[in-house]
Amino acid sequence: MRAIVRSAADTVLASGPVTVVAHAATKQKLRVLAYHGVDDPAGFEWQLGYLREHYTVVSSDDVVAAVRGERSLPAMAVWVTFDDGIPSVIEYGLPLMERHGIRATMFICPGVVDTTAPMWWQAIETVFDRHLAREALGFLGNRSQPEVITAMKAMTTGELVDFVSTAGKVFEQHSERAWTTPQVRSEQLRRFLETGGTIGNHTYDHYLLDRCVASEAADQIRLGHDWLTHFMGTKPTLFAYPNGNHSPESEAELRSLGYVVAVLFDHRLAVIGTNPLQMSRLRVSDRNSRNRFAGILAGAHPFVARARALIVRRS
């Protein structure tokens, strides 16, 4: 029943009359799309074609220039971004973006580049894939995977590291193999840059900055910053808060390092002229239905989602 209601709502939000009104109200706002990997290349290519037909795709250079007041963005502008540096973006997504003439931005965590070490949530996904949740996750072993990930996001960095370390030891005892997750390689990142893409800082290890003590957060930002500076030969100016978790201390650190744009994960349209170190993004996936994707881009879906969240909080 919930899926039927959701599908019906997506159809309404993507309809012509709603789209016309939404576009009229939001045409000067920037649509910053926040993807992760490319899981469905066919779906992703359809989305790229939809963007080219109905919107104006801009690059990070265009966004930075607009933030600095050097030029304005066109109406109905879209900036495509990816979090976490997942290899599928380059393996499957980059050829499609080249075909459509779209230059995107990847926010990466250097701590796993050129390794097979899983990020903390990837480790938990592996536990569930191997049906070892009860053995490896202790007091969270009876919860669903989304519930475990949500609980982990509330942990401090120290608690998170200890939890994953303990789970890893139990996992290896029961599975007789180590955790491995293919991560992005340096040569893939170089190819992404050579084709006109840009790379931004997503912290070194993807720890949630508002759950870190101030010194840990600063270290995570600076380690990622230094690695990228060495790798690219220039200082990065783009940043994405892991999970969208902003903190004033982290923003101050970014400002001191010269970052121009830092993006959230709040499912809202962005407004040039507001604080560029708290720039809004829209949560999208290549698995979104066509109606949902259209409704998100139009601005109708984010508006309804925000209104619903406000009602829930008040109630």
Structure pTM?
0.94
> 265: which DSSP letter?
-
**Binning pLDDT at 50, 70 and 90, where does residue 292 land?**
very high
Q: Scanning the structure block, which residue is given the tokens 């074609």?
A: 49
Confidence of residue 104 (pLDDT cuts 50, 70, 90): very high
Return the number of other C-beta atoms located less than 10 Å from residue 295's C-beta: 27
Across 93-105, average pLDDT = 98
How far, in Å, CA of 190 to CA of 57, rounded?
A: 22
Burial class from Cβ neighbours inside 10 Å (0-12, 13-18, 19+) for residue 68 reads exposed
Residue 312: what pLDDT?
Answer: 60
Task: Supply 123's token pair.
Answer: 């480790």
Residues of the chain above pLDDT 90, percent? 80
Q: How far is CA 154 from the centre of its chain?
A: 18
The strand pair at 198-201 and 56-58 is best described as: unpaired
Q: How far is CA 277 from CA 14, 98, 197, 239, 258, in A?
A: 30, 29, 21, 8, 11
7 — pLDDT class (breaks 50, 70, 90): low
Instruction: Assess whether pLDDT exceeds 60 at residue 1.
Output: no
From the list 189, 219, 215, the residue with the least C-alpha distance to 204 is: 219
Of residues 205, 221, 227, 107, the one with CA closest to residue 158:
205
Looking at residue 90, the DSSP 8-state letter turns out to be I
> Which of 33, 107, 104 minimizes the C-alpha distance to 62?
104
Question: All domains of the chain, ordered by start, with CATH?
Answer: 2-113+185-314 (3.20.20.370), 120-175 (no CATH)
* 226-269 pLDDT, tens digit each: 999 999 999 999 999 999 999 999 999 999 999 999 999 999 99
What are the residue ranges of helices labelled H in 55-93? 60-67, 88
- Tell me the pLDDT band of 3, cut-offs 50, 70 and 90: low
DSSP string, 94-110: HHHHHHHT---EEEE-G
Q: For residue 22, what pLDDT is reported?
A: 77
CA distances from 87 to 24, 157, 268, 307 (A): 37, 25, 26, 35
Helix, strand, or coil (residue 235): coil
